[in-house]
Structure 1
Amino acid sequence: MAHLPAPGPTSVRTTGDYYQWLVAWDACLALLRETAGHPQNPIRAVGVELDGAGNLDDVVLLRDLPPHTYMQVKYAVDSSTPVSEDYLTKPSVTGGPSILKKIARTWKGLTADGGSTDLRLVTNRAADSKDYLVAGRDARTGLLMPKAAIGGAKSNRGKARAKWAQESGLTEAELIDLLSVLRFDLSLDMGLYQENLRLLMAVTGLRHDQRALEEGAGWIAKMVREDRRELTLAMVEAAVADLDLKAGPTRAILSIATLKPDPLASDADHAIDWVDRFDGSSDYTKRRPLPPHSWAQLQADIEDTPGHLPAGTTAVSVTGSIRLAPAFLVGTTFRMVTGTDLAAVQRGRAGAQLWSTNDPFDTALAPAVIEHEIGQGDEIAVAIAVATDLSEDVLEYLREQNVPVGKLIVLTPPSSSAHDGSVPDSAAANALTVGIRDHLRRSTRRVRRIHLFLACPMGFAVLLGNRWNRLCQTVVYEDIKIDDGYEAAFTIEA
């Protein structure tokens, strides 16, 4: 494979501009979502290189009331300059003020009347893990606080604070105030950032292929060339119409993370972060809650989510990295009888798709059925074998644990064996979930409890849970790989 040539000055400049247009398009998406969600203090316009915003004028979120959000966007072609004390306090190449001094001056100007503000440094640069203040950045908020304020004058952090304060022209107390509102949005690599923006376009009800993203960023560039620096809702909505970007409803975002942090959490209307509450050192090993946390607590958190979404929400998109039992529970929480159009961001070989409960399909798809007699009781075990065949593992678990079931019903796609691509899209997923539900309604009519085991795409588990009604009480199991192999996670009344 041939390597790309080193970028020249023109390439660096144009790529940096494009990165800024992506950040501005991101802000326009936030404007559309907040308009649909009706928050108390919504974004009313997006500024791009806005007058009166000092050195934080690259992208500005203008709200009805302060605090407004002011962003400085910095793009780097390589990883040679991480965000550190040296990067922030070094004078510019022309001998002008450092980045930190420029930010401090702008902050003092924006807050001179005693008002509040929200500041962000947005860059693809990573944090310097050896920097005494930057290394303490809180990944949940992007702030260097509260760790930046810890330690006396003789500590490493204290010495760093003194240097930052001197360079910025602030007292240490003022520096702490600045760092309380200055967010460091770091490591937003171009490829990952574009992927996240496409997902945001999907949940905003827009086309979300790469071409659509390029069209959105291109519209931002056009507005700047025409010197239209304040982009209103009417302008953004007109652009969406002119570019033919509209594809569906704007959705409330529900972020649930148990395996790794969700990059869309900061854009969510409600976020549940259980990453540190799950046992395991990586997303491959995080399979169950870490005591004293429990499945019951997670169930309560998930079932409480409708009350945390904007009033009147009728369309919801769930994002994040979760195991199949929590994904199924999300579906049952927003069951079809609630009238909610529920969608899940499903990643696969064709890239990210949005699988929605409202996506049409021609007819229900009856699953292939295999039954195994067990004879240990009058309850029923059900295995959904879409991504892989889990029959042997489930049978072994049921027998070893003496689960009181009479038989195991294994349900698979009708025309193929279980594999990762057996359900290619949302329409196929909806058709099969309806077929599975209808089969189980008939075959478990006189059963008082179902024991459910899942091996399917995450989005499929969400859609299946959404249609899980007029069935009996269901115990949902999670594959934990260790100990007994499976663990009862949630009990759901259906």
Structure 2
Amino acid sequence: MAHLPAPGPTSVRTTGDYYQWLVAWEACLTLLRENAARSHNPVRAIGVELDGAGNLDDVVLLRDIPPNTHKQVKYAVDSATPVNEEYLTKPSVTGGPSILRKIAKTWKVLTSDGGSADLRLVTNRAADPKDGLVAHRDARTGLLMPKAAVGGARSDRAKARTRWAKEAGLTEAELIDLLSVLRFDLPLDMVWYQENLRLLMAVTGLRHDQRALEEGAGWVAKMVRDGRRELTLAVIEAGVAELNLKAGPARAVLSIATLKPDPLAPDADHAIDWVDRFDGDSDYTKRRPLSPNTWAQLQADIETAPGRLPAGTTAVSVTGSIRLAPAFLVGTTFRMVTGTDLAAVQRGRAGSQLWSTNDPFETAMAPRAIEHEIGKGGEIAVAIAVAMNPTEDVLEYLREQNLPVGKLIVLTPPSGTANDGSIPDSTAANALAVGIRDHLRRSTRKVRRMHLFLACPMGLAVLLGNRWNRLCQTVVYEDIKIDDGYEAAFTVEA
């Protein structure tokens, strides 16, 4: 395979501009979604290379109640310049002030009247893992605090703080104040960043293919070329209409993360972060809460989420990395009887899709059912076998735990095949969710308790939970892969 030639100066400049337009388009999406969701203190306008914004003028999110968000965008063509002390404190190529000094100067101006500031350095550069301060950046917030302030006068971190403060023209106390509001949004790699912007477009109710993303970024560039530096809600809505981007309702965003941080969490209306509260070193091994945290605590956090969203919310998107039992619980929390249009970001072979409970289908998809006699009592066990078939594992668990179960019902797609591609889209997922529910209403009419085991796409678990009504009490299990194989996670009254 032939290698791409090294990028020339024009290519680097053009790509850097496109990266900035992506950052500005993300800000436009935030404005659209916050205003549609009636968020508290929504963004009212987007500044692009805004006059009077100091050195952090590339993209500014303007709100009625401060702080405004000031973003400085720095694109790199390769990984030769990580974000570290040298990068932040060295003079510019023309001998001008360093990045840190420019940021500090703008911060002092923005806070001179006692106000607050929200500052962001946005770049595709990575943090230098050997840097005394940057290496300890908090991935959840993007801040170097609180660890940047740790260490006595003789520590390496204290010496680094002294050097940074001197270069910034600040006292060390002022530097700590600056680092408390300066977020390092990195590394926002171009490919990764575009993928997450497409997700943000989806939850904003817009077309979210690559072409739509490029049209949005191109529209921002045109506005700047035309001399428009402040983009209001009316201007952005006119741009969306001109580009024919509208595809559905803008949604409030509920971010739930148990496996790895959710990149959309900063844009969420409410975020539940349990990444550090789940047991395991990676998203492949994080399968249950780390003691003393419990499933009951997670259930309480999820079930109180509706009250944390903007008042009057009727359309919600759930994002993040969660396993199937929590995904099902999200669906039951926003059950169809509440009138909420609930959607889940479903990743698959065709990329990311938005699976919505309001997506239409012609007829319910009746599942294929296979029953296994257990003979231990009057309760029922159900295995949803869509992504894979867990029958043997579930049977083994039921017998070892001696649960009072009379039989196991295994439900698969009509073809009987369980694999990653058996449910191609939201229409099929909704049709199958209704088919499964209707089958279980008939099969469990006289049953007082059901034991539910899920092996399906995360989006289907959400849609199924959303329709889980007129059924018996349900104990939902999580596949933990160790010890007994499964663990009872949540109990749902249906």
CA distance in 2, matches of 1:243, 1:282: 41
SS of the aligned residue for 1:187 comes to coil
Contact kept in structure 1, 2:68 and 2:118, CA below 8 Å:
yes
Q: Is the 8 A contact 1:416 1:422 kept in 2?
A: no
Partner of 2:125: 125
**RMSD of the alignment, in Å?**
0.8
SS at match of 2:223: helix
Partner of 2:79: 79
| Aligned match of 1:262 | 262
For the residues of structure 2 that align with 1:88 and 1:468, how far apart are their CA atoms?
Answer: 54
TM-score (norm 2): 0.99
Residue 116 of structure 1 deviates from its aligned partner by 1.6
SS at match of 2:330: helix
Superposition pairs of residues 205-354 of structure 1, within 5 angstroms: 205-354=205-354
Moved runs in structure 1, 4+ residues, more than 4 A?
A: none
1:57 maps to amino acid: D
SS in 1 for 2:34: helix
Counterpart Cα distance in 2 of 1:212 and 1:364: 32
1:264 and 1:319 in contact (8 A); partners too? yes
Cα distance in 2 between the residues matched to 1:230 and 1:105: 23
**Aligned mates of 2:479, 2:393 — CA distance in 1:** 10
Write the letter of the residue equivalent to 1:272.
Answer: I
Q: Aligned ranges for residues 141-160 of structure 1 at < 5 Å? A: 141-160=141-160
Instruction: Report deviation, 1:338.
Output: 0.4
Question: Partner of 1:438: helix, strand, or coil?
Answer: helix
For the 8 Å contact 1:43–1:61, the answer to whether it is kept is yes
Cα distance in 2 for partners of 1:14, 1:424 equals: 37
For residues 353-392 of structure 1, the aligned pairs below 5 Å read: 353-392=353-392
Q: CA deviation at 1:42?
A: 1.6
Q: Deviations over 1:185-220 (max 9, x none)?
A: 110000000000000000000000000000000000
State how far apart, in whole Å, the 1-side matches of 2:38 and 2:406 are: 51
Gaps of 5+ in 1: none
Equivalents in 1 of 2:274, 2:66: separation in Å?
A: 31
Residue 132 of structure 2 aligns to which amino acid in structure 1? Y
> Which letter maps to 2:260?
K
Residues 351-360 or 394-403, more deviating: 394-403
Paired residue for 1:179? 179
Using structure 1 for the length normalisation, give the TM-score.
Answer: 0.99
Residues in 2 aligned to 1:406 and 1:107: alpha-carbon distance in whole angstroms: 67
| SS of residue matched to 1:255 | strand
Q: What is the rounded CA distance, in whole Å, between the counterparts of 2:425 and 2:201 in structure 1?
A: 18
Tell me, yes or no, if the aligned pair for 2:368 and 2:416 is still in contact at 8 Å: no
* Residues 1:167 and 2:167 aligned together: yes
Counterpart CA distance in 2 for 1:280 and 1:135 is: 23
Contact 2:39 2:269 in 1 (8 A): no
Aligned residue pair count: 494
- Matched residues, percent identical? 85
Question: Shift of residue 2 of structure 1?
Answer: 2.0
The 8 Å contact of residues 67 and 118 in structure 2, kept in 1 or not, is answered as yes
Residue 416 of structure 1 and its aligned partner are, at CA, apart by 4.2
Task: Name the SS for the 2:228 alignment partner.
Answer: coil
* 2:119 equivalent to 1:107: no
Aligned match of 1:16: 16
Residue pair 1:47, 1:59 contacting (<8 A) in 2 also: yes
Tell me how far apart the structure 1 counterparts of residues 294 and 2 of structure 2 sit (CA, whole Å): 51
Provide the C-alpha distance between the structure 2 equivalents of 1:352 and 1:53, rounded to a whole number of angstroms.
36
Task: Tell me what 1:484 maps to.
Answer: 484
Query: Take 1:152 and 1:480, find their aligned partners in 2: how far apart are those partners?
Result: 43
Q: Report the alpha carbon displacement of residue 114 of structure 1 after superposing the two structures with TM.
A: 2.2
Counterpart for residue 64 of structure 1: 64
Mapped pair 1:458 → 2:434: no
Distance in 2 between the 1:153 and 1:54 partners? 33
Q: Take 1:39 and 1:204, find their aligned partners in 2: how far apart are those partners?
A: 13
Distance 1:436 1:155 in 2: 62
